[in-house]
């Protein structure tokens, strides 16, 4: 059973209040491109991240706004910022470190919100049934190629709005040589494995 791979580069999700502070009251996103999950998109807006030991400029904001501001980075990005970001599913930010966000109209100092996204699979209920997987189940995904790799502890997330995609971050993609495969023009998929 094959599943598409999506590589998530570092990005920011903002709540409405922080968006207004960073970009001005009433700011509305301009969409750069739609993402694989329904209603989600990459905007043209970017912010700078300032950590205790470093900074990363020009980090893309994904829309639409969320209830809580959240920054998703790779472990390598965390080292660059001087943060020990925990491995979490999206939305699980309690107890995570904070960072300063700098936008064109203002700054926001977060007390928490920086995570390394746990590798996961998005599927809708029909796809979950087809694959024989359930919400919160952990599976393995095998990625072929010169740097073939088996990703373990992949959590399944089921929602009506999802479309089948295996999400990994840039560190994981580099370890499996996914970028090299994309440059060769190959469609990148992984094979679901079960114990």
Which tens digits make up the pLDDT trace of 138-195? 999 999 888 999 999 999 999 999 999 999 999 999 999 887 555 555 567 888 887 6
pTM: 0.89
28: Cβ contacts below 8 Å, ≥ 6 apart? none
Residue 190 has a pLDDT of 87
Answer whether residue 125 shows pLDDT above 90.
yes
**Mean pLDDT, to the nearest integer, of 92-112?**
98
Q: What is the pLDDT of residues 72-90, one digit of tens each?
A: 999 999 999 999 999 999 9
185: Cβ contacts below 8 Å, ≥ 6 apart? none
What residue has token string 């740097």? Answer: 147
As a whole number of angstroms, the distance between CA 41 and CA 22 comes to 19
Q: What is the pLDDT of residues 14-47, one digit of tens each?
A: 999 999 999 999 999 999 999 888 889 999 999 9
The strand ranges marked E within 51-177 are 55-63, 70-72, 87-88, 100-102, 107-109, 114-117, 120-123, 138-143, 149-158, 165-169
Residue 142 has a pLDDT of 95
Q: Which residues share a beta bridge with 29?
A: none
Tokens of 125: 């209920």
Q: Which among 164, 138, 147, 125 is positioned nearest to 37, based on CA atoms?
A: 164
Tokens of 132: 């024989």
**In angstroms, what CA-CA distances link 27 with 63, 147, 167?**
12, 43, 29
């Amino acid at each position: 059973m094959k599943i598409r791979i999506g590589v998530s580069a570092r990005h920011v999700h903002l709540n409405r209040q922080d968006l207004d502070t960073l970009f001005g009251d009433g700011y509305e996103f301009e969409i750069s491109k739609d993402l694989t999950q329904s209603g989600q998109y990459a905007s043209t807006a970017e912010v700078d991240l300032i950590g205790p030991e470093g900074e990363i400029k020009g980090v893309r904001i994904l829309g639409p706004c969320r209830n809580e501001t959240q920054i998703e980075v790779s472990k390598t990005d965390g080292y660059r910022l001087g943060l020990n970001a925990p491995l979490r599913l999206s939305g699980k930010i309690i107890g995570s470190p904070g960072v300063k966000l700098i936008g064109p109209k203002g700054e926001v100092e977060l007390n928490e919100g920086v995570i390394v996204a746990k590798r996961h699979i998005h599927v809708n209920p029909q796809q979950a049934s087809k694959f024989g997987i359930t919400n919160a189940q952990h599976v393995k995904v095998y990625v072929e190629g010169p740097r073939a790799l088996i990703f373990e502890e992949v959590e399944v997330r089921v929602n009506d709005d999802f479309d089948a995609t295996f999400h990994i971050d840039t560190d994981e993609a580099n370890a499996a040589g996914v970028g090299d495969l994309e440059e060769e023009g190959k469609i990148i998929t992984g094979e679901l494995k079960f114990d």
